[in-house]
A and B are shown apart, each in its own frame.
Chain A
Amino acid sequence: MVKSMSDDYQPKIIALVCNWCTYTAADLAGTSRLCYPSNIRMIRMMCTGMIDPKYILKAFLDGADGVFIGGCHPGDCHYINGNLKFKKRMAGIEAIISQFGFEEDRLRLRWIGASEGPEFQHNMTDFIQTIQNMGPSPAKGLMVL
């Protein structure tokens, strides 16, 4: 892995977030004027349960330095158990990407409820800091996609 600790390194992060909770939390963070770095590109999904591993793979191969997934707390899923289905899927995705040299820490799943604006802000800041410390993704700059 190439470590780049230069100050001008700005990680690019894709966040796949659930419409019913984390996206709403992001809205709340916005209306509450909570600040977080602008490295996050958010993609609204109807549920984490619909996140096919290929979305995560495409993000990584397209040069994302990190992928954040935000879903509802267990028991709060709008579709009963989509978040738990995704959580089960995570283990497989981690096992695959780690074989190809992506650190598992580049992929993070967190439960953030609709009312947790400050939680959202905290999670984003923390994840961006983690990725910033890790440096650019190994796929960055390669012509893989």
Chain B
Amino acid sequence: MSVYAMVKDASPTVAVKAALTKLLSQNLVDAVLVAAKSPYSALPMPTLFAEASAMDGIDPLAPAAPFNAARQAATVSRQATGKRLALVLRPCEIRALIELVKLNQCTLENVVLIGIDCLGRMENEVFLRHASALGDVTSEFQKNTSLQDDITRTCQMCEQFEPAHADIAMSTLGMAENSVLFASGSETGEALLKELGLSPAENPAQRETVTKQLREKRAACKKEVFAETSEKINSIEKFEKMIGTCLNCYNCRQACPVCYCRECVFLTDVFAARPETLLRRAQKRGSVKLPTDTTMFHLTRLSHIAHSCVGCGQCSSVCPSNIPVADIFTTVAAQVQAAYDYVPGRDVQEPIPYLIFAEKQKSGEPK
């Protein structure tokens, strides 16, 4: 049962800030993790607040995210501390966090998930350029549709921009200017909204139209990217061309919220070629391109995490060689997820597909 509350303020950020500040000042939660500007950069970074008075710089609606904050959220919720924690995350971050819960990397015990409507994020340099020209990019972004076209390629094809599974969802899509809709997604959220003293409101009718339109636009873009990418990777030779400049920096692995191993196999000697192997190969083939295991790296990472890929696009954003890593991952992941009928972040109770199997199976040929 959802409790709605409409809040109109000077800007959506102010409305959101007021609600989050109240959560802390009324001791409804012990700490809030939310993106905030630091004194050092306009780029909002995930910040853990324990004092309401310190929350001035919070900017959860900013169209920028230097990384997927699910990892940071998992860092503060790795074990239950007995303290109540509010995590303010984007939809893709919530999905990744749910995957991390399933992978036993963190717990949602005593955690209040607060989601936002995500209109997308810009690449860091695009955001900073707008920030130096406009000052307050966040407010401008909410109303200026041409700015909204500056979001990353992966965000342009994201259909899951509404916060699912959040205890409290803060929505701006389809709302009157400077209004934010607070909706509860669970009993915890409902109780909190009541404690905050927000008065019930109706879900505005135009929201559905607006989200439907946006979803259709995004779906069309996704279809295009998938078709284009499938064609570009459908032979290993073409794929080689696509990742030809990969330098094995492993930034994509670092930025990936669901690639969670503490020690990656690519940090070990498992695939490290010995000098004599390299020389032998060079002699046999005439030459050997280095580093040798870039294809192996991407395919291995795909085989390990494709089922959990939430399509946040951070892998593309951090690539120093401008390889469209996210295009590849989202395209292949769609196939893997379809094969398992699995949607990452859909349900915290739904186990990772690899972990469930039919105990009773007919004997004979496995296919």
Contacts and interface: CB of A to CB of B under 8 A. Distances in A.
B361 interface: yes
Given A53-B303, A88-B357, A101 B339 contact: no
Interface of A: 53-54, 57-58, 61, 73-75, 81, 84-85, 87-96, 98-102, 109-111, 138-139, 141-145
Given A99-B230, A138-B235, A139-B236, A58 B271 contact: yes
A87 B132 CA distance: 54
B366 A109 contact: yes
Contact of A58 (B296, B340, B357): B296
B293 interface: yes
> Interface on chain B toward A: helix, strand, loop, or mixed SS?
helix
Nearest to B287: A143
Nearest to B239: A100
A85 B331 CA distance: 25
Contact of A92 (B289, B353, B362): B353
B353 to A, nearest CB: 7
Contacts of A89: 354
A99 B271 contact: no
B285 A143 contact: yes
Nearest to B300: A54
Given A101-B236, A111-B366, A139-B236, A144 B302 contact: no
Interface in B277-336: 281, 285, 287-289, 292-293, 295-296, 299-300, 302-304, 306-307, 331-332, 335-336
Interface of B: 230, 233-240, 265, 271, 281, 285, 287-289, 292-293, 295-296, 299-300, 302-304, 306-307, 331-332, 335-336, 338-340, 353-354, 356-367
B358 A84 contact: yes
A61 B295 contact: yes
6 contacts: A54-B300, A61-B296, A73-B364, A92-B303, A111-B363, A143-B281
Contact of A94 (B304, B339, B353): B339
A57 to B, nearest CB: 5
A96 B359 contact: no
A74 B339 contact: no
A53 B236 contact: no
Contacts of A102: 236
